[in-house]
A and B are shown apart, each in its own frame.
Chain A
Amino acid sequence: MKRFSILLLATLTTLLTACGGGEPDTVRLLTHDSFLITEETAAAFTATTGWRLEVLPAGDTGSMVNQAILAAGNPVADVLFGVDTTFLSRALDADLFIPYESPVLGSLIPGLATDPDHRVTPIDYGDVCLNYDKAAFTTTPPPQSPADLTAPAYRGMLVVEDPATSSPGLAFLLATIASFGEAGEYTWQDYWADLRANDVRVTSGWEEAYYGAFSGGSGEGDRPIVVSYASSPPAEVIYADPPVGEAPTAVVTQGCFRQVEYAGILRGTSREAGARALIDFLLGERFQEEMPLTMFVFPALASADLPAEFVAHTMIPAAPLTLDPAAIEANRERWIEEWAAIVLR
Chain B
Amino acid sequence: MSRHPRLAFAALAALPVAFLLAFFFWPVGSIVATGLFPGGRFDPDPFARALRGGLPGVAWFTLWQAAASTALTLVVSLPAAYVFARFEFPGKRTLRALFTVPFVLPTVVVATAFLALIGPGGMLGVRLDGTIWAILAAHVFFNVAVVLRTVGGLWAHLDPRLEEAARLLGASRWQAFTTVTLPLLRPALAAAASLVFLFTFTSFGTVLLLGGPGLATLEVEIYRHTTALFDLPLAAVLALVQMAGVTGVLAAYSRYQERRAVEQTLRPAAEVTRRPRTAGERALVGGTLAGTALLLLGPPAVLLARSLDTGSGWGTSFYRALGSPGRTGVRLVDPMQAVGNSLSFGVVATAVSVGIGLLAAAVIAYRRGRASQWFDTLLMLPLGTSAVTIGFGFVVALDAPVDLRSSWVLVPLAHALVAVPFVVRAVVPVMRAVRTRLREAAAVLGAPPRRVWREVDLPLISRAAAAGAGFAFAVSLGEFGATAFVARPDTLTMPVAIFRFLGQPGTLNFGRAMAMSVLLMLVTATAVGLIDRLRPAGLGDF
- A residues with a Cβ closer than 8 A to B are 1-2, 4-5, 7-9, 11-12, 15-22, 28, 30, 33-34, 36, 38, 54-60, 62-67, 69-71, 74, 76-77, 90, 162, 164-165, 170, 202-208, 210-213, 217-218, 220-222, 228, 232, 235-236, 238-242, 290, 293-294, 296, 307, 332-333, 340, 344-345
Contact = CB atoms under 8 A, between A and B. Distances in A.
A22 B406 CA distance: 9
Nearest to B490: A55
Interface string B201-222: 0000000110011100000100
Contacts of A65: 230
Nearest to A206: B503
Nearest to A233: B505
19 contacts: A4-B355, A19-B403, A19-B404, A19-B409, A20-B405, A20-B408, A33-B503, A54-B490, A59-B485, A63-B391, A76-B406, A203-B213, A207-B108, A213-B120, A239-B506, A240-B507, A332-B228, A333-B229, A344-B214
B479 to A, nearest CB: 14
B351 interface: yes
B508 A165 contact: no
Contacts of A222: 120-121
Interface stretch (B267-275, B311-319, B422-430, B516-524): B311-319
Nearest to A53: B490
B413 A15 contact: yes
B506 A242 contact: no
A59 B409 CA distance: 17
Contact of A211 (B318, B329, B500, B510): B510
Contact of B454 (A1, A71, A164, A242): A1
Interface stretch (B58-66, B184-192, B392-400): B392-400
A185 to B, nearest CB: 29
Contact of B330 (A11, A18, A240, A294): A294
Interface stretch (B111-119, B375-383, B464-472): B111-119
A48 B498 CA distance: 33
Contacts of A241: 310-311, 317-318, 321, 506-508, 511
Contact of A21 (B403, B454, B503): B403
Given A59-B484, A344-B213, A344-B214, A70 B396 contact: yes
A272 B317 CA distance: 46
Nearest to A290: B330
Contact of B506 (A4, A54, A238): A238
Contact of B405 (A57, A76, A170): A76
A218 B510 contact: yes
Interface in B298-336: 310-312, 317-318, 321, 326-332
A345 B54 CA distance: 13
Contacts of B395: 67, 70-71, 76
Contacts of B317: 241
Interface-centre pick from A211, A241, A290 (highest chain B CB count, 10 A): A241
Contact of A221 (B19, B120, B208, B408): B120
A16 B120 contact: no
B34 interface: yes
Given A1-B450, A70-B392, A70-B396, 15 more contacts: A11-B355, A55-B489, A55-B490, A56-B490, A58-B488, A59-B484, A76-B406, A165-B208, A204-B212, A218-B505, A239-B326, A239-B504, A242-B310, A290-B330, A332-B229
A165 B506 contact: no
A20 B230 contact: no
A212 B409 CA distance: 36
Nearest to A162: B213
B499 A33 contact: yes
Contacts of A332: 228-229
A9 B351 CA distance: 12
B146 interface: no
A239 B507 contact: yes
A344 B326 CA distance: 41
Interface in B338-376: 348, 351-352, 355-356, 359
B485 A63 contact: yes
A58 B486 contact: yes
Nearest to A65: B230
Interface-centre pick from B121, B209, B312 (highest chain A CB count, 10 A): B209
Contact of B403 (A1, A20, A36): A20
B453 interface: yes
B461 to A, nearest CB: 13
A54 B500 CA distance: 19
B490 A208 contact: no
B178 interface: no
B267 to A, nearest CB: 26
Contact of B119 (A1, A212, A232): A212
Given A16-B404, A19-B402, A70-B34, A240 B212 contact: no
A63 B386 CA distance: 14
A62 B226 CA distance: 8
Interface string B96-114: 0000000000001001100
Given A15-B409, A239-B506, A344-B213, A57 B120 contact: no
Contacts of B226: 63, 66
B196 interface: no
Contacts of A345: 214
Interface-centre pick from B119, B321, B511 (highest chain A CB count, 10 A): B119
A220 B312 CA distance: 16
A199 B108 CA distance: 25
A239 B505 contact: yes
Contacts of B34: 70
A57 B227 contact: no
Contacts of B399: 71, 74
A34 B330 contact: no
Contact of B484 (A15, A33, A208): A33
B145 interface: no
Given A36-B332, A57-B487, A58-B485, A16 B409 contact: yes
Contacts of B108: 205, 207
B407 interface: yes
B230 A202 contact: no
- Nearest 3 CB-CB pairs, A to B? A239-B506, A58-B487, A62-B227
A172 B412 CA distance: 38
Given A55-B489, A56-B406, A67 B392 contact: yes
A22 B347 CA distance: 24
B246 interface: no
A268 to B, nearest CB: 11
Contacts of B348: 15
B208 A59 contact: no
A77 B507 CA distance: 36
B239 interface: no
A332 B231 CA distance: 12
B150 to A, nearest CB: 24
A51 to B, nearest CB: 16
Contacts of B111: 208, 212
A248 B428 CA distance: 58
Contact of B352 (A2, A11, A63, A202): A11
B299 to A, nearest CB: 14
